[in-house]
Structure 1
Amino acid sequence: MVCIVAFIVVLVLSAVSAKYRKLLGTAWGCAWRRVTMRPCDTTFRDDVKNSLLAPLALRAPRLVRPASIAIEVVAWLMVLSLVVSLYLVGRSGLNLFVYGTCDKQNAQACSLAAQACSIDAGQPGFWESIGEGDVFGAFGREFASVGDTIATIPSRLRTWDAADFASADATYLGGYTAGRPTALEVLDPGCRYCAQLFRNMRDAGFDGTHNVTYLAYPIRGGFGDKFANSQLVATYLAATRAFEAERAAAGASNAAAAQTGDWYILEQLFTTQASDGTTTQEWMNAASAADATQRLQQWLTDDGYTADDVARIVTLTGSPEVAASLQHARDVVENEIRTVSIPSLIAGGRLHSGLVEVDTLRGLG
């Protein structure tokens, strides 16, 4: 390993001083043979070690052998450190290209990523597994994760069409307008960046240039949902869409033509404040299930739904079709869109991971 480290040092020195360039060819020849598992056929390795050990040989000859061993150990550590560093840089760059974050397990930990709530991997991290003694599992999951990222590359090079991922009973912010392109947001009702993206879309007039729809995806944590009541809100959103689909099938309304109650719920959740001065979203994340349920039903009433309408929506929250709708949304996010950041927005032929700024949204119009 000494000749590999020496080659790297000579390579750096030759970039700043011509006197080292004559050693570069020799250093490379020796390093290449070591990389290809062949013995070095030059005296370059010995010359390097001798030059390092010569002063010690004059002062303390007995320390030459231990020092020689130490040089080899340090050289091995330096080479391993270089290999690991290159791997981490390569993996981070690949994740950044594919997922918009350099860390799949924690999108918020990457300073280069857009602001987002991270979809946790659900598996212990590499060093956590090492600490638990699961060495084979740690390396197995690490390489499987890299393989999964590589397999996802082709999907990121495609032209994205939001309509391909919209649910069958999709509703639209402000109602559906023929001729406009479709945009789809993957959101968690409890994620503050989803609330900010909703406000950004309003500020950008994005709903005036696109048919904006959504998939509700409550992020799961280690002990349930990442945000309390996200699943409850998502269930009411799905039940309201199912109710509007029933009315449309009966000819009582056209759910696609006008803004529906699920969007009213999102608007109240993302844009209003609670009585204690916090945002309504913060209140919802801290509320009991009973209080959250009461607030959701009150919002439906405020939006013009009758008592019978609300009762039917409540009934639908426990229906198989709503459960299937929620599971379908989860399957689409995890197996087709394959994002690790919430929110994610499909618009303008691209998948945008994390919070999208107002100016970017205007550019997509």
Structure 2
Amino acid sequence: MLCIVAFAVVLVLSAVSAKYRKLLGRAWGCVWRKATFRPCDSSFRDDVKSSLLAPLAVRAPGLVRPASIAIEVVAWLMVISFVVSLYIVGRSGLNLYVYGTCDKQDGQSCSLAAEMCSIDTGPIGFWESIGQGDVLGAFGNEFASLGETIAAVPSRLRAWDATEFAAADASYLGGFTEGRPVALEILDPGCRFCAQLFRNMVESGFDRTHNVTYLVYPISSDGTPRFANSPLVATYLTAIRAFDAAEGAPLGGDWFVLEKLFTEENADGLEWQVWMNNASAADAEAQLQAWLAEAGYDDSAVARIAELTTSDAVAATLSHTRDVVENDVQTRAIPSLVTDGRLHSGLVDVATLRDAG
């Protein structure tokens, strides 16, 4: 290991001073022999050690042997640290390319993907497993996660088609217009970045150049929703679409609800999304029904939509949506936007949306 560390040091030194370049060839020869499982050039190894131990041999000869052992141990630690660092950098870069986040378990921990609500999927992290004493599980989960990321690389090279993932009863912001490309947003009603993306679409005019639809995906961890009332809102949005599809004369109540949530405030000046995330389930449902009435649904229609929220059909649609998001799209970021052959993870800014138009 000492010759490997020496090679790294000599490589750096030779870049700034020609006098070290003669040693670079000997150092590389030693490393190459190590890499091919042959003994290192003992003369080079001894030269390195002698140069490090010579001052100590003069002052304290008895410490030469312990110091020699210490040098070997430090060399091993440096090499292991270097290899681990390369692995972490490589894994993070691969995750960033595939998922738009450095850390699959906690996307928001990566500064390059901070403008998003991360989806907590997969097993617990490496160090958390180590902390629980599960060493085998830690390495098993780590390499399984890496294998999953590598397997997902081809999907990121594909041409993304939003219509492939759209719901069977998809509704479109402002209605469907022939000739416009379809854009699909994956959103959680409680995620503030989803609200910002909605506003960015309107500001950029993206909603006037694309047929924008959505999949509603309440983020959860171990069965607990990230935002308390997101599952309730999701069932209403899904039930509204089912009701409109059955009636054949949709009023677009789902987009009306989303627009209220993402762009407006209540009488107290509090954003409706913030209010919804903190309201009781009863108050949240009452407000959703009030918005439906405001959108033009009569009492009978509101009652039928409320009934649909507990139906098997709506539950099956939400389950299918979750499967599409997690297994087909495999995103780790909310919002995600599929448009113009690409998958955008996290918040998309106004300039990018305007260019897409």
- TM class by shorter chain equals over 0.9
Partner of 2:284: 292
Comparing 166-175 and 214-223, the one that deviates more:
214-223
1:168 alignment partner, SS class: coil
Is 1:122–1:221's contact at 8 Å kept on the other side of the alignment? no
1:34 CA displacement = 1.7
Partner of 1:56: 56
Partner of 1:144: 144
In structure 2, how many angstroms separate the alpha carbons of the residues matched to 1:196 and 1:223? 26
- Counting only pairs closer than 5 Å after superposition, residues 79-98 of structure 1 correspond to structure 2 as 79-98=79-98
Partner of 1:112: 112
- Counting only pairs closer than 5 Å after superposition, residues 126-141 of structure 1 correspond to structure 2 as 126-141=126-141
Task: Answer yes or no: is 1:279 the counterpart of 2:258.
Answer: no
1:177 alignment partner, SS class: coil
Is 1:201–1:207's contact at 8 Å kept on the other side of the alignment? yes
RMSD: 1.0
Is 1:100–1:114's contact at 8 Å kept on the other side of the alignment? no
2:186 alignment partner, SS class: strand
- Counting only pairs closer than 5 Å after superposition, residues 324-343 of structure 1 correspond to structure 2 as 324-343=316-335
Output the amino acid matched with 2:26. T
Task: Answer yes or no: is 1:320 the counterpart of 2:322.
Answer: no
- Residue 301 (structure 1) aligned to one of 293, 307, 310: 293
Output the amino acid matched with 1:291. D
In structure 1, how many angstroms separate the alpha carbons of the residues matched to 2:63 and 2:304? 86
1:111 CA displacement = 1.1
1:113 CA displacement = 2.0
In structure 1, how many angstroms separate the alpha carbons of the residues matched to 2:262 and 2:333? 18
TM-score, normalised by the number of residues in structure 1: 0.96
In structure 2, how many angstroms separate the alpha carbons of the residues matched to 1:139 and 1:352? 31
1:183 alignment partner, SS class: strand
Output the amino acid matched with 1:164. E
Structure 2 gaps of 5+ residues are none
TM-score, normalised by the number of residues in structure 2: 0.98
In structure 2, how many angstroms separate the alpha carbons of the residues matched to 1:48 and 1:210? 66
Partner of 1:224: 224
Partner of 1:187: 187
Output the amino acid matched with 2:100. G
Is 2:197–2:349's contact at 8 Å kept on the other side of the alignment? yes
Is 1:185–1:345's contact at 8 Å kept on the other side of the alignment? yes
Task: Answer yes or no: is 1:310 the counterpart of 2:302.
Answer: yes
In structure 2, how many angstroms separate the alpha carbons of the residues matched to 1:122 and 1:42? 48
Task: Answer yes or no: is 1:39 the counterpart of 2:44.
Answer: no
Partner of 2:164: 164
Output the amino acid matched with 2:135. V
2:212 alignment partner, SS class: strand
In structure 2, how many angstroms separate the alpha carbons of the residues matched to 1:147 and 1:307? 53
Is 1:188–1:216's contact at 8 Å kept on the other side of the alignment? yes
Aligned length: 357
In structure 1, how many angstroms separate the alpha carbons of the residues matched to 2:283 and 2:256? 18
1:223 CA displacement = 5.6
Comparing 179-188 and 30-39, the one that deviates more:
30-39
Partner of 2:26: 26
1:153 alignment partner, SS class: helix
1:46 CA displacement = 1.0
Partner of 1:73: 73
1:36 CA displacement = 2.8
Identity of aligned residues (%): 70
In structure 1, how many angstroms separate the alpha carbons of the residues matched to 2:298 and 2:122? 41
Deviation readout 1:342-362 (Å, 9 max, x if unpaired): 000001110000000011001
1:122 CA displacement = 4.8
1:221 CA displacement = 2.1
Q: Following TM superposition, where does structure 1 have runs of at least 4 consecutive aligned residues deviating by more than 3 angstroms?
A: none
Comparing 26-35 and 172-181, the one that deviates more:
26-35
Is 1:114–1:353's contact at 8 Å kept on the other side of the alignment? no
Deviation readout 1:31-76 (Å, 9 max, x if unpaired): 1222333211341111101110011011111111110111011000
Output the amino acid matched with 1:306. D
Structure 1 gaps of 5+ residues are none
Is 1:122–1:222's contact at 8 Å kept on the other side of the alignment? no
Deviation readout 1:152-175 (Å, 9 max, x if unpaired): 111111111101100100000000
In structure 1, how many angstroms separate the alpha carbons of the residues matched to 2:293 and 2:324? 31
1:222 CA displacement = 4.0
Partner of 2:261: 269
Partner of 1:350: 342
- Counting only pairs closer than 5 Å after superposition, residues 246-261 of structure 1 correspond to structure 2 as 246-248=246-248, 253=249, 255=250, 260-261=252-253
Is 1:216–1:234's contact at 8 Å kept on the other side of the alignment? yes
Is 2:105–2:124's contact at 8 Å kept on the other side of the alignment? no
